[in-house]
Structure formats: C-alpha cells, structure tokens
Amino acid sequence: MTNTSSPLSSPLANSLRSGPDDRGRFGIFGGRFVAETLMPLLLELDEAYRAAQADPEFRRELDYYLKDYVGRPSPLWFAQHLTEELGGAKVYFKREELNHTGSHKLNNVMGQILVARRMGKTRIVAETGAGQHGVATATVCALFGLKCTIYMGATDVERQKPNVFRMHLLGAEVKPVTAGAGTLKDAMNEAMRDWVANVADTYFLVGTVAGPHPYPEMVRDFQSVIGVEVKEQMTQAEGRLPDVIVAAIGGGSNAMGIFHPFLDDADVRLIGVEAAGHGLDTGKTAASISRGRPGVLHGNRTYLLQDRHGQIEEAHSISAGLDYPGIGPEHSWLNDIGRAEYVGVTDEEALEAFQVCTRTEGIIPALECAHGLAHVMKIAPTMAKDQIIVLNVSGRGDKDIFTVAHHLGVKL
C-alpha cells in the first residue's frame, strides 16, 4: 500500500464523480447560501484550494503527514467471528478508528490545515458534535502552533466529557453553546458567527461534507483516501470489489469518503445509515433524508428536518456525532438519483451492535459506526456467503463508554 495520494485525483467528465458544478451544486443541492460578508472568503478559499490541488508540493506534504502522523493507510480487517455469528456475507471493517486521534476526522483536518497555512491564517475555529472533529482540529493546531477555538453544544459537552478534556489538553479553547438544544446545529451557528466576526485572521475548519461550497467538495476529496484504500485493499484480499459498502451518516463525511471512489462502480451497493433516534416516526430522530425535505441551512441546500413553515427542527440521536438535522448535499443528490440508499437505525439497535462488535471482534466502535454495524447485522444474514460487505468503522468508542454505561444502567 503506497497509494495515499489519490484523494485529489480528478474523475472523467461524464462520471458521477465529477460534481459539484461551478456553482458548487450537486443537482439541485449544495450552493453557497451565506451572508455577503463571508462570500469573498469562500471565493478566496475556493481559489486557494484549486491552487493547492494543482501544486505537487501540496500533495507531497499531505502524503507525508497522512503516512507518518495520521498513520495511513488504515487496515482492512476481515471480521471473521462477526461473519460466522451473522451466518451470511463476509464482513470487512475499514479500520478508520486506528488513525491518530481515533477517527476518520483527521484525514480532512490534515488537508484543510495545510490549506489554511497556505492562506496565511493564524487562528482556527471549528464546530464539533461528538468531539472527534474538535479533537482532530485541536491536535493539528497543537502540531502547527495555531490558535484554536472549538464550538460545542452544551448538551454535547456534558455527554462527551473525555473529548472536551482532550481538547483542553491540546491547548484549544472549548466554548459551550447553550442556544437551541445545545447540539451540533447550534455549535455550527456559533462557529459561523465567530468566523464572520474574525474574517481577517481566522479559518473555519468545517468537519463534514456540508456547509457552503467549496467545503462539501474539499472535505470529500480529503476523506476519499478511505475509499481509494478500500478499493486497493479489497482487490488484494478478494480479487474483486465488495458487493455492499455501509457507513453511518451524521453530516456524512466518512460515508462520502468511502463511497466516492466507488460511485462509478455500479455493481457496488452504497448504503448510508442515518440515526433514527427513538424511531423514524417518533419525531425524535436525526434521519434527514428519510424524514426531512430539501431546504437551506448552514450555507447549503440539502435534506433537512424542518416543520412545514421552514423552521429547522431539533435532531435526536444517542450519538452526538449524528445528532444533526441536515446532511451533506452530495448525499442528498446520491439519494435522489438512486445511486446510494439511505436507511435508519435506532438508538437501541446501535447499542446492541456496539456490544456485539466489542464481544465478537474485540473492537469497541464509536456509537456513530455502531449504527452502520446494526444495519450490517440486518442484511448480512440475508446475503450469500460469498458476498462481501465493507463497514466503515469510522471511530473508536472510548469516548462513548459513559453514554453506553448510562443506557445499560451501569454506574462508572
């Protein structure tokens, strides 16, 4: 495995991988719905990103950090015991939880921090839900000596204490946001307010494939290293591509990263798993595609949980990383053209999968990817034994043990 340099490769023009268009749109989704104050900054960022893409030195630098600092490539693990227990398709794990900082988040953060440095920015702001993106951002800011402010919903600060402490250790300022339900949506609003007030020196380091153009494209490109590696590793392991790829979705960056290199491989089914919360029809859900409709929030048009008057609704999920009422615009487009499928998994099902994974494979997954695993547990038994599923294990679950203990009635 030497190929960590492909996330920036450009696809053919008639490919499903050629989006977005020059207005930043995937079909009707995406765009740049921001205040005029920010618009010149987005244009500047777009220019800086194109220049970085065209610069071989940028690629070399990124590859260096991905290999020696992030720890790429991440392994593709054949989950033999889980496969036997489920009694159907072979299940592989893409082990993104083995990256430095314990999730896929660092792939994107490493790319963007190099762009921010090229732009001469000295201060970084970011939003975080579960805290994985916040930790990854605080980490690279420590590495490069940049000032770092992380906005995190007050509810999430409470349920993700270990990550809050990690960010403090890394020298970041963590600002709890009490507006709304105090979750990722509110943290995103507050990060945008900070950015607009500090445009001269500040870079907004978006953690998922959402927000105004060029963020969805740029984050996807940096995360595509996941899918590029899977393609190569699966070809080595099985001599062919997988039948199904499954990934959990909050904003959708780990899913977009593993899906994107496979978009033109029509035989590979792509399944995004949204958090259904208490259940898709309980009103306490985070399943934007299954239960939302298109609208405009946080700079892009996409599927949103909203009432009939266009007011955004609070999402609900046991997993702080999935607790968001929107989804990346490219996912909305992939749903509408039928290239990817989007399903829901409840809090309960995710908790069950979390325990199964830990018991059978000795891997404690993040609650986010436990949602993906819960869906794998539903479909693997219905598939033939020579079929192959890849699950993106996007993060490790150490941060979630308090939440899980609470739900299992255990006092730590």
Partner 1 sequence: MSRIQTRFAALKKEGRGALIPYLQACDPDYDTSLELLRAMPAAGADLIEIGVPFSDPSADGPTIQAAALRGLKAGATLGRVLEMVRAFRETDNETPIVLMGYLNPIDSYGPAEFCFDAAQAGVDGIIVVDMPTEEADLLDAHAREAGLDIISLVAPTTSNSRLFHVLREASGFVYYVSITGITGTNSASAADLEKALPRIREATSLPVAIGFGISTPEQARTASRIGDAAVVASALIKTMASTLENGQATERTVPAVLKQLESLAAAVRV
Q: Where on the chain is the footprint of partner 1 (CB under 8 A)?
A: 23, 31-41, 179-180, 185, 188-189, 192-193, 196-200, 295-299, 304, 306, 308-313
Please state the closest distance from residue 122 (CB atom) to partner 1, in A: 16
Residue type at 361 in one-letter notation:
E
Question: Would you please indicate which residues are annotated as catalytic (active-site) residues?
Answer: 105, 127, 394
Q: Report strand pairing: 269-277 vs 340-346.
A: parallel
Distance CA 380, CA 129 (A): 30
| Strand, coil or helix: 300 | strand
Please state the closest distance from residue 23 (CB atom) to partner 1, in A: 7
C-alpha triplet 211, 103, 66: angle, nearest 5°: 90
Distance CA 365, CA 213 (A): 31
C-alpha triplet 262, 263, 268: angle, nearest 5°: 60
Q: Which is nearer to partner 1, 75 or 180 (CB)?
A: 180
Q: Which is nearer to partner 1, 297 or 377 (CB)?
A: 297
Please state the closest distance from residue 24 (CB atom) to partner 1, in A: 9
Q: Which is nearer to partner 1, 42 or 393 (CB)?
A: 42
Please state the closest distance from residue 310 (CB atom) to partner 1, in A: 3
How is residue 118 written in tokens? 């090229």
How many CB atoms are located within 10 Å of the residue 259 CB? 28
Please state the closest distance from residue 308 (CB atom) to partner 1, in A: 7
Distance CA 30, CA 351 (A): 33
Task: Write down the residue that tokens 């043990």 correspond to.
Answer: 401
Nearest residue to 49 (alpha-carbon basis) of 8, 84, 21, 15: 8
Q: Which is nearer to partner 1, 34 or 373 (CB)?
A: 34
How is residue 397 written in tokens? 């679950």
How is residue 50 written in tokens? 């194109």
Q: Which is nearer to partner 1, 232 or 314 (CB)?
A: 314
How is residue 56 written in tokens? 């071989």
